[in-house]
Amino acid sequence: MSASRYTYLGPAGTFTEAALRTLPEAATRELVPMVSVPAALDAVRAGEAAAALVPIENSVEGGVTTTLDELASGEPLMIYREVLLPIAFALLARPGTALADVKTVTGHPVAQPQVRRWLAAQLPDAVWESAASNADGARLVQEGRYDGAFAGEFAAATYGLEPLVAGIHDAQNAATRFVLVGRPARPASPTGADKTSVVLWLAADHPGALLELLQEYAVRGVNMMRIESRPTGEGIGRYCFSVDCEGHVTDRRVGEVLMGLKRVCRDVRFLGSYPRADEVTATVRPQVTDTAFTAASDWLARCQDGRG
């Protein structure tokens, strides 16, 4: 394995690269752009890279389905870090292009919902076609295949383009969440502001099946931060669930949740416990602290040996 190499969704100039460069360790790694999220993750699976940074969630569009599906299938991987990056787009074009000249535009599919209203107001007749990434859209504009690309303003210099308009976003405070993914190993030690991610497969489709999953979290006082369903490919109506919750796998309440899920689910894939990018500490009720779980376990042991 190349411990000095990190892959990311490329090409150069993507928001993913910008997010990766916010990590201190990125300064000492070889950063290798890949053509797709699966390619970035497969390089890790093959031992060609130590880790990959990929987008997983957007505050406007929701989950990045390619990443969710890749983490739910294939050889298991684990999340070790997350990065939150504020997102604003620039409309990039070849030098000498005026806004009125822009008839065709491109960008990553996740970008379109974030600029849709601006596009309708400013370029209502422009035709949108999706690109593999925002930076790849910039490359396609450089090659003359489109008039404009929605990408990070920082990508303009890389592709010899100019920003016609900067700071484009339909939603204020838009952000994308990225995750640093590696091969499975012991999770990092808890920080007190952590997140745990899993993928869950229902044992059977019956009334209340999803409620059973939710109750495993609720009765132990563990806050679910995100839940998304994804088709398993096994037929219409067959889904798995990608879930993030507050806490670390070494927290008693979270460990109890995972054991409960393992009992009621057909399968559980542990995707890791890792520090929250926002560093927000979970509020834990007194009755679900590790101290409370330990006291309950001690009481049960006394009951079992006649000292209760």
Domain assignments of the chain as residue spans, ordered by start: 1-87+175-185, 89-168, 186-308
What's the sign of the alpha-carbon dihedral 156, 161, 165, 171?
Answer: negative
Strand pairing of 239-246 and 224-231?
A: antiparallel
Domains 1-87+175-185 and 89-168 share a fold: yes
Per residue in 156-210, pLDDT tens?
Answer: 999 999 999 999 988 888 899 999 999 999 999 999 999 999 999 998 878 888 9
76 pLDDT band, cuts 50/70/90, is very high
Half-sphere exposure of 62 (CA within 13 A, CB side): 8
> How much is the mean pLDDT over the chain?
94
Which CATH code is given to the segment(s) 186-308? 3.30.70.260
Q: What is the pTM of this model?
A: 0.89
Of 177, 275, 260, the residue nearest 222 (C-alpha): 260
Is the CATH number of domain 1-87+175-185 3.40.190.10? yes
Per residue in 273-297, pLDDT tens?
Answer: 999 999 999 999 999 999 999 999 9
Of 33, 213, 41, the residue nearest 134 (C-alpha): 33
Which CATH code is given to the segment(s) 89-168? 3.40.190.10
Per residue in 235-267, pLDDT tens?
Answer: 887 889 999 999 999 999 999 999 999 999 999
Radius of gyration of the chain (CA): 22
